[in-house]
Amino acid sequence: MYIYNEVDQKIVDERVEQFRDQTRRFLAGELSDDEFLALRLMNGLYIQRHAPMLRVAIPYGLISSPQLRKLAHIARTYDKGYGHFTTRTNIQFNWPKLEEVPDILAELAQVQMHAIQTSGNCIRNTTTDQFAGVTPDELEDPRPWCEIIRQWSTLHPEFAYLPRKFKIAVTGSPRDRAASQVHDIGLHLVKNDAGEIGFEVLVGGGLGRTPVIGKQIRPFLEKKDLLSYLEAILRVYNLKGRRDNKYKARIKILVEAMGIDAFREEVEAEWANIRSSELELTEVEINRVKSFFQPFDYDAEAGNDTTLQQKLDSDEAFRVWYERNTHNHKVPGYTAVVVSLKPQLQPAGDITDLQLDVVADLAEQYSFGQARSTHEQNLVLADVKNADLYAVWQKLAEHNMARPNIGTLTDMIVCPGFDFCALANAKTLNIAEQINQAFDDLDYLYDLGEIRLNMSGCINACGHHHVGGIGILGVDKKGEDWYQITIGGSDREDASLGKVLGRAVAADEVADTLKKILEAYVEQRTEEERFVDTVRRVGVAPFKEKVYAAAH
Amino acid sequence: MPLLIDRKLVTDDSWQLVEEADSLPQSGDLLVPLALYLEQKEALDAHSDRLAVKVNGDDDLTPVLSDLERFPMIAIEFPIFRDGRGFSLARILRRAGYKGELRAVGQPARDQLGYMERCGINAFEFDDESYSDDFLKAFDEISVRYQGSADDPRPIYLQN
């Protein structure tokens, strides 16, 4: 992974002191609420329902064992012993004290971490595939490009007061595991007819109250032009994006209003001014950054292991976990492990200080000292030897991180909802618990196959409900929580927005409604057909009928 | 009004802002909104003393860009704290080769000064009550520049 040099370290150290002074001036009444709001947001600090919330950046989801231990320490010392992983692959703490935040940032800086641009109307953490660098289906490792974007976007003087937040995702595989099509900019590493690798560039995707799938602005961008092209898009957006209404301020609205062709023309005209400038990436720099992401020193003998098969044959629970919670590795004898943060009785994405320490230890002992966070709110140990999988599984199981539900209905993305968030209209955690209780039969879940269930507690869509195979949106109706259900969404390479099933259902009816939807799926599906494909083939009607017919 | 130019507090400011056509003075250094300049171009081009224009995010910069030598000072308006269009306006003007004074007016906030300077703004005009000498510290809070900007076009890896 990328290791800070003196300059990188200096920037986070200076940022800590800058924020310490801003906090001091705010507490002394020298800084207005409005100004401090924008400044603290750019450092990941929200004021939530009960307390401030601090969101810490995990650049493109890559994190080391010492960093995980530092997060555990922060959870223990400054919070109530836990943190929450987000769809931006960051972690947030729900109970820090405002006056202690500068100290937390100073602690983070000790392990090359920070909260820079984890919120606010600026360029946010760039995200990528959690299996980057290890998945066999990859064209090229996207992480060096994420790091190049991280450096360019960090404290960018021109783009700190954009019309609205700005999110970039990069993928290196035709299988999209980063929801790249619902980002302000999605970058796909692709090969052109000449056999060169560059980027397909999408722009104007996003969720929130107006969900939009990104549009292609450029089919192929040479690697050296990456930053000049991004800068051209950002400059056009900064100048032309709407600022009169925050709900119409994202780049997706600008692209829709101008039309992609007119938007492209503006970008290309601006790009022509800056393409051949110092923004052009040099081979030396690209190679320097790539040198931090070289393959590990893998054991050439690992592929000869026979113990894994023995364990799979002899231990049913292990076999079930292995089939569900692991991903192929491109090196023979290695496997990527998904650490499930979707246990039955805890909010999705939550992790305790002890669990953070356990993952840190496992990473150190079995996975070259690194872990990754996923946009589905799980963790990954990407480089585990097959011979070690059993030991890893046992340890994860002991600490409630081995529920074999990855990719199934209960591997839900869930925002914190009304229990924590000041924006939320409805609770989500109680509904997730209801679903967990109703769908605890693993055989049934496995029979249903791959289903992405996403839930948000308000229209801002932090839980990505529009792109869930099943999406649940909490709404407030006269002081009561109701839930609107959509079906048929996807955040993968076949990205699509879910369609509304019908009228919202009451809080205590959500799990039963899901049961009916899934009954309809089982009736309608052809062999091997995923839920989302069935919805696409037969439409919403059969599902609607199943859910609402009985009520009349 | 307190005015910083090149990080120094300046006491005498010769520029007089006039926003209405019917109150244009005959002499003295004159700052007018770009729209007024375009509307009264003939009269203002005949103005005996120096002339500057004030631009904001709604303006089309084309007439300014094609006549940069005309203006010894260009004021960029920052109407509210969150409106960041002025940062891009400054970069576009500097990129086009503008060498004169670029002045942030409206609401330049202490915590934005460093970024404004990096985008090419070298003068800052404040309300009397908002300014304090502490503002001068704002420029050096962050010394590292990952990306090129108007101050130095080189990204970090090309610096030194």
Averaged pLDDT in 10-residue chunks for chain B of 160 residues: 94 93 90 96 93 97 95 96 96 97 94 97 91 92 94 90
Q: Which residues touch A539 (CB under 8 Å, ≥6 apart)?
A: none
Q: Which residues touch A377 (CB under 8 Å, ≥6 apart)?
A: A85, A86, A87, A341, A342, A348, A349, A413, A414
Residue percentage of chain B with pLDDT more than 90? 87
CA nearest to B109 within chain A: A35
Each domain of chain B, given as residue ranges in start order, spans 3-158
For residue A528, give Cα distances in angstroms to A320, A523, B111: 19, 13, 57
User: Hey, what are A544's tokens?
Assistant: 């609607």
pLDDT score at B127: 86
Determine contact: A33 vs chain B, CB below 8 A. no
Angle between the N-to-C axes of helices A510-524 and A531-538, in degrees from 0 to 180, rounded to the nearest 10: 70
What's the full length of chain A, in residues?
552
pTM: 0.96
pLDDT score at A59: 98
CB pairs under 8 A between A and B: 105
The answer for B 33-92 residues in CB contact with A (under 8 A) is 57, 81-85, 87-89, 91-92
pLDDT score at A114: 97
Q: Which residues touch A316 (CB under 8 Å, ≥6 apart)?
A: none
Average model confidence (pLDDT) across chain B: 94
Residue A300, class by beta-carbon neighbours within 10 Å (0-12 exposed, 13-18 middle, 19+ buried)?
exposed
CA dihedral A178, A180, A185, A191 (to 10 degrees): 100
Contacts of A245 in chain B (CB under 8 A): none
CA distance A79 to A83: 8
At residue A484, φ and ψ (nearest 5 deg) are -95, 135
Q: Closest Cα to residue A482, out of A510, A501, A463, A455?
A: A510
Q: Which ipTM value was assigned to this complex? A: 0.97
Contacts of B115 in chain A (CB under 8 A): 157-158, 160
Tell me whether strands A168-171 and A185-191 are parallel, antiparallel or unpaired. parallel
Give the right CATH number for B3-158 from 3.20.20.70, 3.30.1330.40, 1.10.3730.10, 3.20.20.450: 3.20.20.70
Q: Which of A161, A254, A291 to mutate to test the interface with B (most CBs of B within 10 A)?
A: A161
**What is the per-residue DSSP string for A67-108?**
HHHHHHHHHHHHSSSEEEE-TTS-EEES---GGGHHHHHHHH
- Angstroms from B59 CA to nearest CA on chain A: 10
Please say whether the beta carbons of A251 and A240 come within 8 A.
no
User: Which DSSP state fits A448?
Assistant: H
**What element of type H or E holds A542?**
helix A541-549
Are A14 and B144 an interchain contact pair (Cβ–Cβ within 8 Å)?
A: yes
For residue A421, give Cα distances in angstroms to A40, A394, A415, B115: 17, 35, 9, 31
Please say whether the beta carbons of A143 and A62 come within 8 A.
yes
Q: Which of B87, B112, B133 to mutate to test the interface with A (most CBs of A within 10 A)?
A: B87
pLDDT tens digits, A5-45: 999 999 999 999 999 999 999 999 988 888 899 899 999 99
pLDDT score at A550: 59
Q: Closest Cα to residue A285, out of B145, B147, B158, B148?
A: B158
CA distance B21 to B39: 9
Degrees (nearest 5) of the Cα angle B147, B151, B152? 55
pLDDT score at B1: 85
- Angstroms from A196 CA to nearest CA on chain B: 25
CA distance A116 to A255: 27
Ranges of residues in chain A with a pLDDT under 70 are: 550-552
- Angstroms from B139 CA to nearest CA on chain A: 11
User: Which DSSP state fits A335?
Assistant: E
Q: Closest Cα to residue A404, out of A324, A326, A312?
A: A324
User: Hey, what are A86's tokens?
Assistant: 């987000």
